[in-house]
Amino acid sequence: MNELYLNGAFVAPEQARISVMDRGFLFGDGVYEVIPAYAGRPLREREHLQRLDNSLKGIGLAPPLSPPEWSLIFQRLLSSTPKADQALYLQVTRGVAPNRDHRFPSQPVPTVLAMTKPMKPRDLAVAERGVEAVTRDDIRWLRCDIKATALLAAVLLRQSAEEAGAEEAILVRDGLALEGSTSNLFIVREGRLVTPPKGPLLLAGITRDLVLELADVAGIPHVERNIEIQELRRADEVWISSSTREVMPVTRLDGALVGSGQPGPLWQRIDRCYQDFKADLRRAAA
C-alpha cells in the first residue's frame, strides 16, 4: 500500500492518524464497504456506494462524499498498481466526540478512510474440492442489513469456524439459515437456486445480486425465500458468496458431505459466468 486517503488527504499509512476519541474506535460507530477492483476497475461501484449510503442512513449519518468524489479517490488509490486485482476498503465513522458520550454529537464531523490491499489470487483447489462450513447460532444484532464496523459477533463466529477447520460459519436464527459470518448463502434443490430474501437479518450482498443476474442470463431458475436448517442439510449444492471470495462451493457441512461432496454442476455454470464477467471488466479497462 503506497498511500491511503484520510479526511481529505492522501498520506502514507505510517503517517495516518486518528484521535483516540473517535467514535469508530470507542464504539464501533461507523460503517464500511469493500469493493473488488479488477485491472483498476471497481466491480459494481455504484451499487457498493448505494449500499454505503443505505448503511449511513441506517445509523443516522449524512454521506460525507458524493459518488463522483469517491470515484476520484478510487482512481488515485488504484493507479499505483493499475493492472493488479485489488480490494478497496472505505470506512466512515461518526468522528471525534469528547467525553465518550453515547449520545450523538450535535454536529458530527465524520472520519473518512479509504485504502486498498491486494486481492488473493483465485484458489484453484476451491474449484476442485470446495470448502467446508459449519452451522452456528446467529448471535449478532437485529440490523445486519447495516454494514457496520462493530463486527465482534461476526469475528467470533468466523473464528469458531476457523477453529473447527472450516472456511465459514453459516448462521441460523429461529430455525432459518440466513447467511455466513462474512458471506451470503445459496443452496440448490432439484435444479433450482435458492437464497434467503433481503431483510434486516442479513446483508444485501452486491455479489449475491450479481449471482442472481448471472443465473438469469444462464437460464438457471432461482427464487428468494427462507431456507430452513433441515433444507440446508438436504441441499444438492451449497454456495457462499462475497466481494473478495466471489462464489465458493461448500462441499462439506458440519462434517457431512453436501450432495456428491464435489462442486456441483450449477456452481460450475455460475463460476464460469462470474469469471467471464470479470474478464469483460478487465478488457474494458485495457
Q: Supply the residues annotated as catalytic.
A: 147
Residues with Cβ within 8 Å of residue 202, at least 6 apart in sequence: 144, 145, 178, 179, 184, 196
Per-state percent for the chain, helix, strand, coil, to nearest 5: 35, 30, 35
Query: Are β-strands 131-137 and 168-173 bridged in parallel, bridged antiparallel, or unpaired?
Result: parallel
Q: Is 173 exposed, middle or buried (0-12, 13-18, 19+ CB in 10 A)?
A: middle
Query: Are β-strands 4-6 and 111-118 bridged in parallel, bridged antiparallel, or unpaired?
Result: antiparallel
Phi/psi for 157 (5° steps) reads -70, -40
C-alpha grid cell, residue 106: 450535535
